[in-house]
Structure formats: C-alpha cells, structure tokens
Amino acid sequence: MKHNTSEILKEQDMSNDVITRSKKPFSDCKIIERANVLRDNDLYFFFRAIEDTAASTVTVKGKKQIMIGSNNYLGLTHHPVVQEAAIKAIEKFGTGCTGSRFLNGNLSIHEELDEKIAKYLGHEKAIVFSTGMQANLGALSAICGPKDLMLFDSENHASIIDASRLALGTTFKYKHNDMASLEELLESNVSRFNRVIIVADGVFSMTGDILRLPEIVKLAKKYGAYVYVDDAHGLGVMGPQGRGTMHHFDVVKDVDFNMGTFSKSFASIGGVISGSADAIDYVRHSARSFMFSASMPPAAVATVSACIDVVSNDPTILENLWTNVEFMKNGFKELGFFTYGSQTPIIPLFIGDDMKAVKMTKFLEANGVFATPVLPPAVPKGEALIRTSYMASHDKKDLATVLEVFADAKKVFEIPSNLH
C-alpha cells in the first residue's frame, strides 16, 4: 500500500508531539521527609557509624560510649574462644561459600552445626539459614500453603509479617498475648482450613514481653494447631544454658517449629529452624529463601558453634547477664521509669512523645550512652520509647553511670512514670 507525502509528514509530526511524563521523586515520600526533619535538627540517630567496639562499649565519632542498644546479650562477640574458632574456619574454608546449601555451598561444618543446634534445642532436626529474616520468610511461606491459616500475635517481628505476605495461605492477627482473642480465632476458623499454625515471638523485641507459651500449647492441642515460636530474642538467654523460651517453660515437645537467630546472643549472623525430622526435611526442600540464598560463611558457622559450647559450659555468663538485668530493672524502677514489666534483658523505657524520645537520645549520646529510640509505627502512636538492652559483659561501674545519666535525663525531659 502506497502513502502520499502529506500522510508521511503528518505521521512524523505526531511522533514528534509525544508528551513525556516526569518521574515522581522518592524525596516526596513521608518517610524521607521525616528523616530530613531529623537531619536538619541534628537529631538523626539511624546508621550511626561505630568505629570500634569492645566488650560493652563502642566508639562513635571518636567518642567512647557505653552500649545499651545492642542485642549482644551474652557479650560473646569478643570472647577469645569464639574469635579463635572464626579465624580457624576462615583458614580452612575461606571467607565464603559462593553458593546455596541446596546445591554447591553446603560445607561439612553446616551439617555439624545443624546436628549440634538440634541437640542443644532438644528437637529431632534443625536447618541453618543465612539470616534469621530468611529463616522466617522461607519456613513460614513454605509451611502455610493455599489451604492453610496462620494466626499471629499483633506484636510479632517484621519478618513474620513479611512471611505472611509471601505465604499463599490466609493470615489473621490476634491481640498481643491475649489468649481469649486467639481462642476466638481458633474456634471460628479451625474447621475451615487444612492446617492452622500459631506463630508468635518467644520474647517480644520491643517490650521484652515473654510469650504465654504454655497457654498457647494448651490451645494448640485443643484445636489441633501447630505451634511456631520465633525465639530470636530468647535463644541464648531464656531457659537452662540459654536453650530458649520452650525450655524456659519446659514445653519443648509441644513446639512444632522453633526459629532462632544467631545475630544476637550467638555473636554472628544466620538463623535456624528446628522441629521434627519430617517437618524440617520438608522445609529443606521447599523454603525458597534457603534454596536460593548463599549459605552462611564459614566464620559465622564456627562462631555459632563456639558460642553454643561457651554458654553450655560456662554458667557464669548467664549468671552475669541476669545479675545485670536485675540491677538495671531495679535501678529504673527506683528512678520512676515505666518499663512495661519486662522480665528479660530488653528493658524498654516509656517516653511518649516522638521528638522527646529523639532529643533524649541525643542527650544520652552527649553523656556517653549509646541507646536507641523506637518510634511509630514500630510502637503505637504516643508510645515512643527508648529500648535498652543488657549484656553479660557489662560491668557494674558502667551500668551505674548509665543510671546516673538517665536520672538526669528524666528530670530534663520530664519523663512520665506511667503509660498514660
């Protein structure tokens, strides 16, 4: 078909008249606007560059600070036995595995750690993931299929929330540590689904609450549900030899899946899922974050293994931790801080107003204390807090200094002694 000259010119004019649409910048997002406000007022406390670390102190901008914002509960990041194990692993296996365990990155020490931690936790089998986040993402999305239901506590960790988005099944929340709310959901939904999985943190990371696990177990038996415990903040801390929340309550056989992370008490990075042999074998062959992620580096694996040995054989570590926790809990009580009744190494301090929490963090930093503010949406609106946490390696002199600084801060910022 022939086109005349005028038609061709008309088509060219139309093509030159295309309207382009500008890209919407991310700088307009509320989260960036909020961050910029903090930066403009010298109150931005995220991504602080730590230049040096010791047992319980850090150096930031050349200034030494007492660290009370870490999850290094057992203080093992600088333990000589742990450091030596990591060095030897690098010398033998190199710095990385460059592949997933599923295919070409499965070292003998990975399998040894699987066996060691299964025995430590008291379950038949365990499988080690590259991170704790990946453990939850992979295991829960594999376990909760299209005809399954996941019921989880409203204060669960973000990794569980993200896992529920990946899972093909249905997800409902129940009120925090509220067994009546959980039973209501179980009673009305259990007959509608193939499997029902109750998922909750063993120790809740913001408030330091302990899961009402015996009551969870009782309800799970009544309604034929599975129990999945995210014990990221309980592993290494709770129970005899730090074996976790299910040991703390002596309900190991009643927990179907136990998740733990190595980035806290075990001074490294990685995660673990433990349970029955068939359940863990299913996860090994189904969890995409396990199958398609490079495996834990050798030094990290050796570090975790050494940490288990240390905490299992040296009871003074946990004794020191709980002595320090009790000292700080009593100290904050005497100062009149509201601490949410925490019974764990996580001691949150209610502040209330967002900007007051941030300004108080600045005050603490200026006085040699490294702490972290927690703002909405991580906590409810109007309940900004400063999350403090303690280690076995803290000494009483440093902790006494921390209490003195907080005593001054409470007066300066007029911090209330209760939630309302």
pLDDT digits (tens, 9 = 90+) for 27-52: 889 889 888 988 998 888 889 999 99
Start-to-end CA distance of the chain, whole Å, equals 81
Same-domain pairing of 134 and 172: yes
Q: Which of 257, 283, 313 is a domain's end point? A: 313
Same-domain pairing of 257 and 361: no
Same-domain pairing of 87 and 212: yes
User: Domain containing 127 — which CATH number?
Assistant: 3.40.640.10
Would residue 233 show up in a list of annotated catalytic residues for this protein?
Answer: yes
Same-domain pairing of 245 and 333: no
pLDDT digits (tens, 9 = 90+) for 248-298: 999 999 999 999 999 999 999 999 999 999 999 999 999 999 999 999 999
Q: Classify residue 92: in a domain, yes or no.
A: yes
Active-site residue, from 205, 265, 268, 305 = 205
Cα–Cα distance between 253 and 39 in angstroms, integer? 50
> With 90 as the cut, is the pLDDT of residue 4 above it?
no
- Partnered with residue 153 across adjacent β-strands are 174
Active-site residue, from 110, 248, 264, 329 = 264
Mean pLDDT (whole number) for 389-417: 95
pLDDT given for residue 9 in this prediction: 55
What ranges make up the beta strands (E) of 23-135? 50-53, 57-60, 63-67, 125-129
Q: Which of 313, 339, 360 is a domain's end point? A: 313
pLDDT digits (tens, 9 = 90+) for 93-140: 999 999 999 999 999 999 999 999 999 999 999 999 999 999 999 999
In contact, 216 and 198? CB cutoff 8 Å: yes
Domain containing 269 equals 80-313
Would residue 264 show up in a list of annotated catalytic residues for this protein?
Answer: yes
Would residue 116 show up in a list of annotated catalytic residues for this protein?
Answer: no
Question: Which three-class secondary structure state does DSSP give residue 277?
Answer: helix
Same-domain pairing of 156 and 276: yes
Active-site residue, from 157, 233, 248, 394 = 233
pLDDT given for residue 189 in this prediction: 96
Task: Collect all residues with Cβ–Cβ distance below 8 Å to 169 and sequence separation of at least 6.
Answer: 144, 145, 146, 147, 148, 149, 150, 193
If we measure between CA atoms, which residue out of 325, 307, 303 comes closest to residue 394?
Answer: 325
